[in-house]
């Protein structure tokens, strides 16, 4: 069954109706990376690199470059590969 298309006013009315009639059914909005990015929210890849930089600044005691420091052993993430850091977003988070 295909998703029904409705206009903005209809969507808001239906949302309000369900919110009032079904208070035990909370809503959860899931946006894809493209929607987030277009809204100015950093992508998972950008956040991953930001967090790795922060961890590197705090935890690297040997003065290594981030790509040398961010290893599977140092991060405790099995098979971590810095070149594919964005793929490890959930574990970095």
Mean pLDDT across the chain? 89
- Is the distance from CB of 53 to CB of 66 less than 8 angstroms? yes
Q: What pLDDT was estimated at residue 44?
A: 86
Q: What is the pLDDT of residues 31-63, one digit of tens each?
A: 665 666 777 888 889 999 999 999 999 999 999
Q: What are the pLDDT digits (tens) for 9-18? A: 998 999 899 9
Tens digit of pLDDT for each residue in 61-87?
Answer: 999 999 999 999 999 999 999 999 999
- Smallest Cα–Cα separation from 75: which of 91, 89, 61? 91
Rounded Cα–Cα distance for residues 56 and 50 (Å): 10
């Amino acid at each position: 069954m295909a998703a029904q298309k409705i206009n903005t006013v209809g969507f808001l009315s239906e949302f309000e109706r369900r919110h009032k009639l079904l208070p035990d059914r909370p809503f959860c909005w899931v946006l894809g990376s493209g929607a987030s990015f277009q809204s100015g929210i950093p992508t998972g890849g950008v956040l991953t690199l930001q967090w790795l930089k922060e961890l590197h600044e705090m935890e690297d005691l040997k003065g290594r470059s981030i790509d040398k420091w961010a290893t599977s052993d140092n991060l405790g993430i099995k098979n971590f590969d810095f070149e594919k850091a964005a793929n490890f977003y959930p574990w970095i988070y």
